[in-house]
Structure 1
Amino acid sequence: MLKFDRVTKVYKVGAFGGGSFTAVREASFEVRPGEVVSLIGESGSGKSTLGKMALRIASVSSGTITCDGTDVSTLRGHRRLKEYYRKVQGVFQDPFSSYNPVFKADRVFAMIRSEYHPGVSDAEWRDKVADALKVVRLDPDQVLGKYPHQLSGGQLQRMLLARALLLDIDYLVADEVISMLDASTRIDVLNLLADLKARGMGILFVTHDLALGNYISDQTVILHRGEIVERGVTSKVFADPRHPYTKKLFASVPQFHKKWDEVEAELRAREAADTSSQPYHLAEGQAVPSELVEVTEGHYVQPFHPRAAV
């Protein structure tokens, strides 16, 4: 299990680092084997920061991230880090940035071989690479030996997923992996992620696209200004959003049959009608706690002030 427990990330900003900016505040959730967890929110909400901390690209300011019980921040030395990256890998938004343009694209496989499979024979390695490429629906003859500029973004993205298969990883951080791909390629990559999930891989799916998150994820985490405002089973969060930010986020999806002022008026009317006292409704002046309240089984929401939210 990849577990985030009250994870906070604070960046130093300003001249000489005299100021600070909290990118993530006390985020807690889990990614289990064979499960897709979507981190959803607008730009700057802290989604990618959480992914970077899981991959140790960014450090944790407070709280813990554990992988199968081991605190990720305590890993030191080449051997232990190598063992960790054999379990957890990341694929990012711009596939071209993961390749050196002066080398052929399949060099990413050669690097995996030298670090993790040095004893494998040439023939066996060729078979392993070919099998991994076929799983991600790539023809080895069409992609091996090519430079990055000779391949499409979708092909390069799937090659990175094939690299993860060669490592036989347990958890994948997929950070906006399809935002730069065309529509026909997007569904292929999404279905590929679903196949990896069926193989038992846990996937942390970072996206700002609500439709994609709803399509692929088992659990949804809604982030706003670095805080988790709602999380739970995807079907419950999408069918019955409770936090004002979640409602506004969902309402912001363009609807062809409605003008925005109609959507906004309906949203205000629904919020004004919700006057019932709920366990997540705070009294005026009451501080917002970091703990989320379970509103239904497997569905949690951050307490808020109803009047201020309208």
Structure 2
Amino acid sequence: MSGTPILEVDGIGRIYRKGGFFSGSAFTAVDNVSFTMSDTPQVFSIVGESGSGKTTLARMILRLVEPSFGSIRLLGRPLTSRYKDRIDNLEFRRLVQPIFQNPFEAFSAYLPVEDYLRRTAINLKVASSDAEASDVCDRALRSVGLSLERIRGKYIRQFSGGELQRISVARALIPRPKLIVADEPVSMVDASLRMSIVNLFRQIVEEQGVSFIYITHDLSTAYYLSDQVSIMNRGRVVESGVPTQILDHPTQDYTRELMAAIPTVDERWSELAAIDAQYRTQASRSTGATST
């Protein structure tokens, strides 16, 4: 593409050491991973089992962990601390936002959820007053099928996992980021609602121009959602490409093992698509009844 890539990951790795510097052992969690995301809004999935290194990779992109080697560039500018001209923290948090696995750990249990969203808008300098912050938060909530009025005065215990994950997505959208890093975002959501969250990600890509890095152990969701997929095993990327290429013509035994862990991609997603259609119909009827 002619524009500056959204993200360039060049040979990054992370080494953890156990014990003393001379007598201890070293473990390489991520080893020489490289990929580029163009300026076209997209979903880039990183797929692997627990311990494959995918979450450590996500944490390095989010600047929660410093790479032991290699470099990461966002819109052509470095993220790692050894570069003096790296993007500062505020600008980075406005450009890149996370969505974590457990939505119940993403919010304070002692604050109404709306207060947390307003603080996000003010802390990231998206709004300069509570009134302005409320407008920003309401727009973000409406983009995920909710509203400020609907969540007003409620705490996290008053929401389902699916609702709270939608609020997490809204929170991530408040600064209008360029990139969202979603780490296993549907693994703790009820199975009947996962499809609606996955479809929401695709809607955000197409309507708001936000790109996603989607971290998952589930090849079926990656196949359904992604524009590009990378398979990780033992800290390395073992296979990359468009989803149909990888699933129709896998070249690695590890990829075949991941495929064997799901019944079939087409059957599973046909079933979930039917569940999603039923859920949307019920929600539409409920909304109509309420308005009446």
Q: Please say whether Structure 1 and Structure 2 have the same fold, judged by a TM-score greater than 0.5.
A: yes
Distance 1:216 1:119 in 2: 32
Superposed displacement of residue 125, structure 1 = 3.0
Q: Given the alignment, which residue of 205, 212, 225 partners 1:203?
A: 212
**Cα distance change of structure 1 residues 78 and 117 upon mapping to structure 2, 3 Å threshold:** farther
> What code does the residue aligned with 2:149 have?
D
Aligned partners of 2:161 and 2:188 also within 8 Å = yes
Query: Is 1:63–2:70 an aligned residue pair?
Result: yes
Whole-Å Cα distance in 1 between the matches of residues 212 and 87 of structure 2?
24
The 1:247/1:170 distance shift into structure 2, 3 A limit, reads: same
Which residue is 1:39 aligned to? 46
Q: State the shift of 1:82 in Å.
A: 0.6
Q: How many Å apart are 1:183 and its aligned residue?
A: 2.0
Aligned equivalents of 1:228 and 1:64: distance in 2? 16
Number of the residue aligned with 2:257: 248
Is residue 100 from structure 1 mapped to residue 108 from structure 2 by the alignment? yes
- Say which is worse superposed, 114-123 or 158-167, in terms of deviation: 114-123
1:293 aligned partner: none
**Corresponding residue number in structure 1 for 2:268:** none
Q: C-alpha displacement at 1:15, in angstroms?
A: 5.6
8 Å contact from structure 1 (residues 31, 203) kept in 2: no
* 1:267-286 mapped onto 2 (5 Å cutoff): none
Distance 2:197 2:106 in 1: 17
Q: Secondary structure at the match of 2:97?
A: strand
Tell me, what secondary structure is at the counterpart of 1:107?
helix
Q: For 2:221 and 2:126, locate their aligned partners in 1 and report how far apart those are by CA, in whole Å.
A: 38
Secondary structure of the residue aligned to 1:73 is coil
Q: Which amino acid aligns with 2:71?
A: T
**Alpha-carbon distance between aligned partners in 2 of 1:201 and 1:118, rounded to the nearest angstrom:** 17
Aligned to 1:220: 229
1:30 deviation in Å? 2.0
Partner residue in 1 for 2:186:
178
Aligned residue among 158, 162, 173 for 1:150: 158
Distance 2:64 2:34 in 1: 19
TM-score when normalising by structure 2: 0.82
Q: Does 1:12 align with 2:17?
A: yes
Shift of 1:58: 0.9
The answer as to whether partners of 2:121 and 2:137 remain within 8 angstroms in 1 is: no
Measure, in 1, the Cα distance between the counterparts of 2:253 and 2:10.
24
C-alpha contact (below 8 Å) 1:40/1:223 kept by paired residues:
yes
Deviation at 1:121, TM superposition (A): 4.3
Equivalent-residue separation in structure 2 for 1:78 and 1:230 (angstroms): 30
Query: Out of 80, 92, 95, which is 1:87 matched to?
Result: 95
- Structure 2: 5+ residue runs without aligned partners? 1-5, 265-292
- Superposition pairs for residues 119-158 of structure 1, below 5 Å? 120-158=128-166
2:142 maps to 1:114: no
Give the whole-Å Cα distance in 2 for the aligned partners of 1:144 and 1:72: 37
CA distance in 2, matches of 1:183, 1:189: 10
Q: Choose which of 28, 31, 37 in structure 2 pairs with 1:25.
A: 31
Determine the C-alpha separation between the residues in 1 that align with 2:214 and 2:197.
12
Superposed displacement of residue 159, structure 1 = 1.2
Residue 118 of structure 1: CA displacement? Answer: 6.8
Q: Are 1:54 and 2:61 an aligned pair?
A: yes
**SS at the partner of 1:106?**
helix
Q: Separation in 2 of the partners of 1:97 and 1:105?
A: 12
Give, as a single letter, the amino acid of the residue that structure 2 aligns with 1:8: G
Point out the structure with max Rg over C-alpha.
Answer: 1
The alpha carbon displacement at 1:100 in A equals 1.4
Aligned identity (percent) is 37
Residue of structure 1 in register with 2:272 after alignment: none
Residue aligning to 2:279: none
Q: Aligned pairs, how many?
A: 255
CA RMSD of aligned residues (A): 2.1
- Structure 2 counterpart SS, 1:172: strand
Question: Against the structure 1 CA distance between its residues 18 and 148, is the aligned structure 2 distance closer, same or farther, given a 3 Å change threshold?
Answer: same
Post-superposition CA distance 1:64-116 (Å, at most 9, x none): 11101111013779981110110001111011111111111223212223223
| Deviates further, 71-80 or 201-210 | 71-80
Matched residue, 1:268: none
**1:182 to 1:65, Cα distance in 2 relative to 1, 3 A:** same
